[in-house]
Homo-oligomer: A and B are copies of this chain.
């Protein structure tokens, strides 16, 4: 079963993927921060039972992963595949994730909130992601009573999620805006529409490989449909800016654009060691080349975005099941990339 990021759609345009996240809490339990070990276990059990049943046909595909009992390396791998959040990686209490086979659904239990429903699809598929998340949400609500207030909406551990508990986001590849130093302008512009831009692994993470998560900041005072519609408009605006700038750069100096792409290809095909940040930069450049339709680039079996995931430290830095040191990791990364781009 291939994963959502192995779908060719995520290589086809500026938008790599679309994601919905819903934050929910169960009325009868305190927030995860305040839960004892026993309460956590009970709460998780309740949620698992609410989800794995006949009312949700997709639930037969779910696998439950007890995250807190995993070795650090495996937690990191799940995070790099966008299955769990950095928050869940560092959690010390019982916690876990229900994940389906293509990783399009992952439901974190006992994260910052009791439930974090996440749905993600390659390309521009936010409506599809919303419909699926909404359905999962309904199924849970049939079994448990959510913490909900008529005036404020869904109650969440952090006030920034109150109301809808919705974070809709698009993962976007913005190499030209980044290179031309325009990301700050874009950020200022979209902030006015209640939208924010984060790095590839969410809040506080770097924008490795010119990849940015564009998501709604405001969760209250608007319906879910309004939030998604507004975000789509902002994403269209950013896409237009990136496309226009790309055309400008090409018309100003095509050879500079080409030089940048082919140099990255040459380095990727030949280097014997490479840091993650450097690799992301080169893969990003080569992705540009595919988007521009350059015919002489190697045809990959993998999607670009799955290569980006595969070279992250947790996924690449393993030999014989164990994490290796950073030097060895940089070698394994270069070896893998030479093979992929052969």
Contact = CB atoms under 8 A, between A and B. Distances in A.
Contacts of A268: 266
A258 interface: yes
Interface stretch (A34-42, A103-111, A269-277): A269-277
Contact of A272 (B259, B269, B270, B273): B259
Contacts of A265: 266, 270
A263 B259 contact: no
A280 to B, nearest CB: 17
A150 interface: no
A223 to B, nearest CB: 50
A12 interface: no
Contacts of A273: 255-256, 259
A29 B255 CA distance: 55
A334 interface: yes
Given A255-B331, A331-B255, A272 B267 contact: no
A262 interface: yes
A267 B263 contact: yes
Contact of A271 (B266, B269, B334): B266
A273 to B, nearest CB: 5
Interface residues of A, number: 17
Nearest to A268: B266
A329 B215 CA distance: 45
A119 to B, nearest CB: 40
A266 B270 contact: yes
Contacts of A255: 272-273, 331
Contacts of A256: 272-273
Contact of A266 (B258, B259, B269, B331): B269
A271 B262 contact: yes
A270 B255 CA distance: 12
B270 A262 contact: yes
Interface in A288-342: 331, 334
A259 B334 CA distance: 9
A48 to B, nearest CB: 47
Contacts of A263: 266-267, 270-272
A259 B263 CA distance: 15
A268 to B, nearest CB: 8
Contacts of A271: 259, 262-263, 266
Interface centre among A265, A266, A267, A269 (most CB of B within 10 A): A266
A336 to B, nearest CB: 15
Nearest to A271: B263
18 contacts: A255-B272, A255-B331, A256-B272, A256-B273, A258-B272, A259-B273, A259-B334, A262-B270, A262-B272, A263-B267, A263-B270, A263-B272, A265-B266, A265-B270, A266-B268, A266-B270, A266-B271, A267-B267
Interface of A: 255-256, 258-259, 262-263, 265-273, 331, 334
